[in-house]
Amino acid sequence: MNNTLNPLNMAMKRSLLVLLLLTLSGLGLASAALAETLYVKSSATKLQAADSASSKVIKTLSQGTAVEVVKKSDKFYQVTAPGGVKGWIFKFKLSAKAPEAAGGSSGLLDALGGQQMAAKESASGSSIRGLSPISEQHAKSKGISQESIDAVKQMEAFKVSAKELDEFMKTGKLGEYAP
């Protein structure tokens, strides 16, 4: 009797094949359910070709962009961005919660991890922006020289571009460039 044509043997093979297919499809669903969605914390976040701050930038992502985590390494997460583009992002540039729309960006604080200072955490809103006319009057009444007041105004006017900030962080081995 030929065992390969035995109806019982054929039914067992079909049952095993169906079970195998169900198991494989279940694993695919499970891995999809385990996928982690994170959100980009700040604008101009770099999606890079490798898990290194010095690797090629594939694309820049906007604040609030949702990405799917594929793999986690020490300082970088491999993600799939909208449109199916895969790349690596410095892990501190991502958040489990979608960021709220902000009126502005703190620049340096964003670059160092996206932390923002709330107005209540500072002495006053003007302390973030520098000297207000009232503060300037107070400084003069306390005998602060005009030269010092002008120096503060000059510092307030100083702007650092994103490229200059990135170079500073790279040179100082800060943020994603830290060893």
Q: What is the pLDDT of residue 155?
A: 85
Nearest to 146 by CA among 157, 125, 154: 154
146 and 107 in one domain? Answer: yes
68 and 28 in one domain? Answer: no
Q: What is the pLDDT of residue 117?
A: 40
Q: What is the pLDDT of residue 130?
A: 67
128 and 163 in one domain? Answer: yes
71 and 51 in one domain? Answer: yes
73 and 17 in one domain? Answer: no
Q: What is the pLDDT of residue 72?
A: 92
* pLDDT tens for the 179 residues of the chain, in order: 555 566 667 777 777 767 766 666 655 544 444 579 999 998 889 999 999 888 999 999 999 999 999 999 889 999 999 999 999 999 999 999 987 765 444 444 444 444 444 433 344 444 456 678 888 888 899 999 999 888 888 888 888 888 888 889 889 998 888 88
CATH of the domain at 108: 2.30.30.40
Nearest to 40 by CA among 25, 21, 59: 59
Residue type, 134: I
Where in the sequence is the domain holding 11, given as residue range(s)?
3-34
Q: What is the pLDDT of residue 96?
A: 93
71 and 119 in one domain? Answer: yes
Q: What is the pLDDT of residue 165?
A: 87
84 and 14 in one domain? Answer: no
Other Cβ atoms less than 10 A from the Cβ of 168: the count is 15
Question: How many structural domains is the chain composed of?
Answer: 2
Q: What is the pLDDT of residue 120?
A: 37
84 and 119 in one domain? Answer: yes
121 and 133 in one domain? Answer: yes
48 and 15 in one domain? Answer: no
Helix, strand, coil share of the chain (percent; to 5):
45, 20, 35
